[in-house]
Amino acid sequence: MVSSENIPLTYRVMVGDLQRMEIFDCIAAVARPIHDFGDEFMSDETTATVGLRAGFSPGRGFYCRGRFGVLGEAPVPVVQAVQGFLGPNLVTAGWLAGRAVMPAEDAVACYAQAVRAWGHANIPAYVDVEHFNHLAQQLIDAADADALPLFAGWRAQPCPADDPVGAAMQRIHVLREHRGACHLAAVRLSGLTAQMAMVINLGVEQATHYGWQEPHPVAATLIPRWQRAEQLTDELQAPLYTTLTDRQRTEFAQLVNALTASPTS
C-alpha cells in the first residue's frame, strides 16, 4: 500500500472534491496529457532499446513498423496516408527498414509490450488504474472507428486482463490514436495539409524534426483554420464522452492527470 504522504497533494484534493464536468471541459482536460504521455513513450530511449534488442536498427524502424503495423503489410503510400503528420521520407525509411526485421503482426506485439513496460516504469503507484481502465475502455468501446483505421487497428489489439498497469498504458495509447486520427481528418476538413498543421502547431524547426523537409512558415491568416481543426477534433471526440456521467468525466480527467504525472512530482 502507498502511504498518503507519497501522493501529490493536488491529486488528494481533487479526488476529495468532485465537481460536475461538461463533455468539452473533460476533452480539453485530458487531450494534452494523453498526447504528451504517449509522446514521451515514443521518444524515450528505453523504448528504442526494446526495438534494438528485437533486431531493429537504430532509427525509426521499430517505431514505424510497431506503431503502423496494425495496418498489416501495407504499401508505404498507404501507411503515409493513414498516419499523416510525419514527413513521407521518415515514414518510408522507417517502414521499409522495419519490414526486413519481422512481420507487421509480430512488430505490433513487440511494440505493445514496449508500451506496457513503459507504463510500469512511469505510471505512479498510487493511481487507481483499475477504475481508469474501466472508464477508458468505456470510451474506447463507444468510438465509431469509421475512417480511423489506425485507431481501429490498435483497438483490436489484445489488452491483458492480468496486467492492469500495462493495460492502462495501452489504453492511453489507443485513446491517443483516436484523437490523432480525428485531428488528421479535422485538419484536412479545415483546408490545411498535415504539414501546415505541424508548422502552425510546432514551428518550422520541430516540423523538420518530425520528417518534413524544408517546411515553410505558414501565413498567419491560416491560423484560424488550425484553431477550427482543434475545435472539430473535440467535436469528433465528443460522442465518446457522452457515454460517461458528469461524475465519471470528472473522475476520468483526474485519473488521467494522476496517471500522466511524473512519479516524483
Structural domain boundaries of the chain?
20-252
- Averaged pLDDT, 154-171: 97
Residue 99 has pLDDT above 50, yes or no: yes
Residue matched to cell numbers 507487421: 104
Q: Which amino acid is at 49?
A: T
- Rounded alpha-carbon distances, angstroms, from residue 162 to 110, 124, 142, 155, 171: 18, 18, 23, 18, 14
Eight-state DSSP code of residue 47: H
pLDDT digits (tens, 9 = 90+) for 114-147: 999 999 999 999 999 999 999 999 999 999 999 9
Mean pLDDT of 147-155: 97
Look at residue 12 and tell me whether its pLDDT is greater than 70: no
Q: Over the range 12-33, which residues count as b (16 or more CB within 10 Å of their CB) and which as e? A: eebeeeeeebebebbbebbbeb
**Overall pTM surpassing 0.95 (yes/no):** no
- 179 vs 181: CA distance, rounded Å: 5
DSSP 8-class letter at 8: -
Length of the chain: 265
Residue 158, pLDDT > 90, answer yes
Mean pLDDT, all residues of the chain: 91
pLDDT of residue 3 exceeding 90, the answer is no
The confidence band for 2, taking pLDDT boundaries of 50, 70 and 90, is very low
C-alpha cell at 63: 517505431
* Helices of type H across the chain: 9-15, 23-43, 45-53, 61-68, 76-83, 88-99, 104-122, 129-142, 149-155, 164-189, 194-202, 204-209, 223-241, 246-259
How much is the pLDDT for 264? 44
Give the model's confidence band at 21: pLDDT under 50 very low, under 70 low, under 90 confident, else very high.
confident
